[in-house]
Chain A
């Protein structure tokens, strides 16, 4: 299935080639777990980010038990500093 993933701020550099300004479509197995989806993105392990799934924050310990459904929106937010 196709999942839309949005990467904001400094994380945009890890969008696959051909992506729009801040989002990409990933082709996944049916109803993947969140951690499987995240592994498809070339984000280095040391890069911290926050996952928002359909406007709900997902804690890191829940990545392996959170199932992604058709039409879900996955958003990755980088840590920020004041500006």
Chain B
């Protein structure tokens, strides 16, 4: 039993910090992390409230396996109403912060209200204080960590912070922990910025206790041994998929005008490994989150002679490098094949606290607006915002990070940006959240997954990959998407990472670890029911927030413009055929509302 059985509640309006018992009945029904955090959110706030108001809550939630030695057991989620989407947001991160929160003695941290002045939260086990943040407000994530590490003289203190992007309410600001891991999506950092809380500084020494440590470790070791296919991920990271999706024809390129990128070989795993003409190699080493036995993270250096950092020695050191999604968003989506420029833009995302997927998607939309003449150099402040321009990518990223000039428009996200300039069809987003690195025409199941994702377009809310690579025919895809959404909901609520699922683990391995960490009988049936319950709970939040069937859709480009090449050449996403089947499988009516018998079956 690895729960701490308590939560920490911090009210920024009153300054009160108090410890409460964890609602164990809810933990039985919703597990932890994503599911449990969502339950607290929907019970405690009006989903119709403004995401940036004091009524919104910001919940940092761990799972039962967070902070244990189960492989990848370092995950936590930030659950709130998203500033980018106005839907439920649940943004998942690794690093070491989540384990530290658990080790300090808390399963959940609930932040409510809003502060009048900038503050930060300092937690050392049961010592909790809200502190004046004037010394770090206006600083970057990296500066904030350095200043507070020095102040507390504790190199093991962990931080989850916003940068200037969060302070400036950039719609896709993220929460960055451990310098370059992030709860990245949906604008959770903007919610933190609106509450005027700069960082959460945690040192935990309580640890996580198991009622039978020997039995727990035996299971952990047995399950870890079944992760037999991790070498590729350790060596090459997720960026290895650039070649795969590019060849398949599902790598979004130039704002999804194309699905294959002629410059892919300059931003792929081989490019990270291979010295350039100056003898500089982008990849330094790999990195792992707490308790992880994969180590997919990339640690990179930018070529010091590259134009982006030539006179900026502060960027010559090693930091979080390109993953698959960042290589897509800051590479092919913008038509940019300059690995150093993309790495620099990625560094800025970590430093200033921006989601690179939404940033890249927003810049790609701006580039298309520029291409069709809807905006000009006059609009952009003199920047020739052309597809393929590494210089423009870096310049716009800098402006957006600092909230200056045209960067303020890019910080709105692609939906509001393209609406502002009269071309809303050019936003490659769902529920306001930009696409991830897969095109929904050659990958029809991914199209359905994007459209139905509760947090807006997302590649990590379902697992249609295998089926999509097998066939572009739509038969069976609704079931694959529905079932895998439920499975992912369960994993996201456990404290574990999704990636072991690509390295040899099955759902039964996740179930086995959850059963080892929790009381009761965690059968396969209960696992699936829990995942389905969580998905429907999130759907209820969105319905109460005013979202519905009208939001379960895709941009016109994906529905009407055939893919120009690749295995999906000539195809559009057949969402209109898949969606009714999906609703029926979910036990929802034709408007996407769960039927009473569905809610009753799930105990909702």
Residues of B within 8 A of A12 (CB): 232
State the CA gap A8–B499 with chains docked (Å). Answer: 18
* B466 neighbours in A (Cβ, 8 Å): 48, 79
**Distance in Å: Cβ of A62 to nearest Cβ of chain B:** 14
Q: Which single residue of chain B is at the shortest CB-CB distance from A77?
A: B244
Contact B459 A82 (CB under 8 A): yes
Cβ A82 vs Cβ B436 within 8 A: yes
A76 to B378, CA, bound (A): 47
Residues from chain B with a CB closer than 8 A to the CB of A80 are 241, 244-245, 465, 469, 502
Contact assessment for A82 and B566 in the assembled complex, using a CB-CB cutoff below 8 Å:
no
A10 to B469, CA, bound (A): 15
Say yes or no: is B460 at the interface (Cβ < 8 Å to chain A): yes
**Does B315 sit within 8 A of A, measured CB to CB?**
no
Interface size class of A (residues with CB under 8 A): 20 to 34
A82 pairs with B240, CB closer than 8 A: no
B389 within 8 Å of A (CB atoms): no
Q: Choose from A13, A52, A57, A82 the contact partner of B463 (Cβ within 8 Å).
A: A82
Question: Are A8 and B463 closer than 8 Å at their CB atoms?
Answer: no
Of the residues A21, A52, A83, contact of B247 by C-beta under 8 Å:
A52
CB of B247 within 8 A of CB of A8, answer: yes
Query: Does B324 lie within 8 Å of A83, measured CB to CB?
Result: yes
Residue of A22, A52, A82 near B465 (CB, 8 A) is A82
CB distance from B552 to the nearest CB of A (A): 20
Instruction: Verify B499–A10 contact, CB threshold 8 A.
Output: no
Would you give the shortest CB distance from B34 to chain A, in whole angstroms? 16
CB distance from A48 to the nearest CB of B (A): 8
CB distance from A3 to the nearest CB of B (A): 17
Of B273, B436, B465, the contact of A81 (CB 8 Å cutoff): B465
Given contacts A13-B232, A82-B459, A82-B498, contact A52 B325 (CB under 8 A): no
* B567 in the interface (beta carbon within 8 A): yes
Inter-chain CA distance A10–B244, complex, in Å, is: 10
Q: Is A32 an interface residue (CB 8 A)?
A: no
Q: With A and B bound together, what is the CA distance between A50 and B566 in angstroms?
A: 13
Name the B residues within 8 Å of A8 (CB-CB).
240, 243-244, 247
Contact A9 to B463, CB < 8 A, known contacts A50-B469, A79-B469, A82-B498? no
* A57 to B, closest residue via Cβ: B567
Residues 224-267 of chain B, each 1 if its beta carbon lies under 8 Å from chain A, else 0: 00000101110011111101110110000000000000000000
Is B274 engaged at the interface, CB distance under 8 Å to the other chain? yes
B501 at the interface (CB under 8 A from A): yes
Question: What A residues does B236 contact at CB under 8 A?
Answer: 9
Interface contact B502-A9, CB-CB below 8 Å: no
As a 0/1 sequence over residues 58 to 83 of chain A, the CB contacts with chain B under 8 angstroms (1 = contact) are 00000000000000000101111111
- Determine if A55 is an interface residue (Cβ-Cβ < 8 Å): yes
Output the nearest chain A residue to B501 by Cβ-Cβ distance.
A81
Contacts of B231 in A (CB 8 A): 10, 13
CB within 8 Å for A77 and B460 given contacts A9-B240, A21-B273: no
Which listed residue, B241, B325, B470, touches A9 by the CB 8 Å rule?
B241
CA distance A82 to B386 in the complex (A): 29
Interface residues in B459-495 (C-beta closer than 8 Å to A): 459-460, 463, 465-466, 469-470
List 5 interface pairs A-B (beta carbons < 8 Å), by A numbering. A10-B232, A10-B233, A78-B244, A81-B501, A83-B239
